[in-house]
Structure 1
């Protein structure tokens, strides 16, 4: 996403994607593979759980074509991702990092600490 709306705050970024928080719509926006997908916090957490349950060991060790890709449909969306093993690992890194940063920001707010933009 080259022109990021001003209502978007970057939560976490890797070289493969970024997660934004949109204050205007109260949504998280996943940018991955040149797409951006807005979702609620609940849908984001559900999608992260879906990605976490993928058996990457099985994908890596199996010679069966059925394990070459994983197909994930996003909650309450028509979009789906068809991911290779490497893409699953990159997506996990992005989603886990974003979740960690959201939790950290929440803890800082609870402590009354100011969060720099």
Structure 2
């Protein structure tokens, strides 16, 4: 992962495989995965997260058919295309789920008037 993160980016959630940042200047979430950066609106982020969650990893794991070795996913309104193996899908799910939970936690804290959680 890169160390040259713009100062307008706030880390939302990080794993050893990637990181999700929030950019208040552009009102976007930045997905850093595979040393690439994909900027997504909150709606597109949620849609992509649901897309990743609906991949049938059980089918991928059990199938001997080569067609189930990878899954091709394209985030909404993006030219990026991810060709993911079973392990990569699991890592991406972990990253996206963790980011969603942190965003939800921060929203709940703002609603109750508490300060937001800093990474």
TM class by smaller structure:
over 0.9
Q: What's 1:67 paired with? A: 68
Return the alpha-carbon distance in structure 2 between the equivalents of residues 95 and 114 of structure 1. 23
Give 5+ residue unaligned stretches, structure 1.
none
Q: In the alignment, does 2:112 pair up with 1:111?
A: yes
Kindly state the Cα deviation for residue 115 of structure 1 after the two structures are TM-superposed: 2.0
Q: What's 1:44 paired with? A: 45
Q: What's 2:91 paired with? A: 90
Give 5+ residue unaligned stretches, structure 2.
none
**Normalized against structure 2, the TM-score is what?**
0.96
**Normalized against structure 1, the TM-score is what?**
0.98
Instruction: After the TM superposition, list the runs of 4 or more consecutive aligned residues in structure 1 that deviate by more than 6 angstroms.
Output: none
The Cα RMSD (Å) is 0.7
